Copies of this chain bind each other. A is one copy, B any other.
Amino acid sequence: MLTFDMTEKQEKILQAALQLFAREGFHATSTSKVAKKAGVSEGLIFRHFGNKEGLLQAILEEGENRLKSLFVDIVMEPNPKEVIRKTIEMTDKIDVSDYDFWKLQFKLKWELEISGDKKMEPLNMALTNAFRKLNYESPELEAQLLILFIDGLGSAVLKGSKLNSDQMIQLLLKKYNI
């Protein structure tokens, strides 16, 4: 990621914080734990990020970008059926090494009350347009419904549910005649 002007230790801190926040939770993770895991003095966290909240923000900003880069391929797609297909297959595109990162995003929606509604807006628009082109009766609703689904599927996968996501994706594609 484009975190170029960053010390080695700064990155270590972010990495450790991401893992701990994602696995244990924000409030359950102390700054001293983060420092220990990062192999760094606790004070350094506050030098670089101001406070614990600032540390979280630094992680979340990167999240904004990652989400956008996931969406850009979908939003640019002209073929409406392809928009829907790519959306449905989105969860499959998530790299296992990024699980901590996405888990944190979901977790924070509940632990702190970060909505995530706004972040979905571009996808919502793209889907609404796609459904409109395909002459669906309520394109806006259809878009929200599909977003609801990928949110649920993502959440299930990240929580380690025994649900077979490949089969689920196939089933959905069929339902949308793709």
Contact = CB atoms under 8 A, between A and B. Distances in A.
A142 to B, nearest CB: 7
- State the majority secondary structure of interface residues on A: helix
Contacts of A145: 149, 168, 171-172
Contact of A141 (B109, B138, B148, B167): B167
A161 B25 CA distance: 23
A156 B148 contact: yes
A79 interface: no
A115 B156 CA distance: 9
The copy count of this chain in the complex is 2
Interface in A101-121: 106-107, 109-111, 113, 115, 117
Interface residues of A, number: 33
Contacts of A144: 163, 168
A162 interface: yes
Given A145-B168, A149-B148, A171-B145, A109 B159 contact: yes
A164 B138 CA distance: 12
A92 interface: no
Contacts of A117: 161-162
Interface string A132-148: 00000010011011001
A152 interface: yes
Contacts of A75: none
24 contacts: A25-B111, A28-B111, A107-B110, A107-B111, A110-B110, A110-B111, A115-B160, A115-B161, A117-B162, A138-B171, A141-B164, A142-B171, A144-B168, A145-B168, A145-B171, A148-B149, A148-B152, A148-B153, A148-B156, A148-B168, A149-B149, A149-B152, A151-B155, A152-B155
